[in-house]
Amino acid sequence: MTPPAAESGLFDNPIVEAKNIHFSFGERNVYRGLNLTIPRAKVTVILGPSGCGKSTFLSLLGGRLQADSGELIFDAAPVPARHSAALFAMRRKMGMLFQNSALLTDLSVFDNVAFPFREQTDLPEALIRILVIMKLEMVGLRGARDLMPSELSGGMVRRVSLARAIALDPELIMYDEPFVGLDPISKGVIMHLIRRLNDALGITSVVVTHDVAEGCNIADYVYLLDNGVVAGQGTAQQMTSSQQPGIKQFMNGLPDGPVRYHYPANDYLTDLHGYDEPAADMLSQPR
Question: Could you give the percent of the chain with pLDDT greater than 70?
Answer: 92
Strands (E) located in 209-262: 221-226, 229-234
pLDDT mean over 67-73: 95
Residues forming beta bridges with residue 143, ordered by sequence position: none
Inform me whether the pLDDT recorded for 263 exceeds 60.
yes
pLDDT winner (highest mean) among 9-13, 97-101, 240-244, 276-280: 240-244
Residue 186 lies in a domain: yes
Q: With bands split at pLDDT 50, 70 and 90, how would you rate the model's confidence at 285?
A: low
pLDDT in tens, 200-209: 999 999 999 9
One domain for residues 286 and 157: no
One domain for residues 210 and 268: no
Residue 118 lies in a domain: yes
Question: 175 by DSSP, 3-state: which?
Answer: strand
Per-residue pLDDT at 254? 84
One domain for residues 282 and 183: no
Per-residue pLDDT at 41? 95
Q: Are 246 and 232 in contact (CB under 8 A)?
A: yes
- Going by the DSSP 8-state scheme, the letter that residue 81 receives in this structure is P
Q: Are 204 and 171 in contact (CB under 8 A)?
A: yes
Per-residue pLDDT at 165? 93
Per-residue pLDDT at 268? 82
Instruction: Give the residue from 168, 93, 164, 163 showing the smallest Cα distance to 123.
Output: 168
One domain for residues 200 and 274: no
Q: With bands split at pLDDT 50, 70 and 90, how would you rate the model's confidence at 277?
A: low
One domain for residues 156 and 231: yes
Inform me whether the pLDDT recorded for 4 exceeds 90.
no
Residue 286 to residue 4: CA distance in whole angstroms: 58
Per-residue pLDDT at 38? 96
Which range of residues forms the domain containing residue 112? 41-55+83-262
Per-residue pLDDT at 280? 46
Sheet holding 69-74, edge to edge: 28-38, 16-25, 69-74, 77-78
Inform me whether the pLDDT recorded for 176 exceeds 80.
yes
pLDDT mean over 159-171: 93
pLDDT mean over 223-245: 93
| Structural domain count, the chain | 2
Per-residue pLDDT at 1? 43
Longest dimension (CA), the chain: 93
Per-residue pLDDT at 3? 53
Q: What is the CATH number of the domain that holds 242?
A: 3.40.50.300
pLDDT mean over 32-45: 96
pLDDT in tens, 104-148: 999 999 999 999 999 999 999 999 999 999 999 999 999 999 999
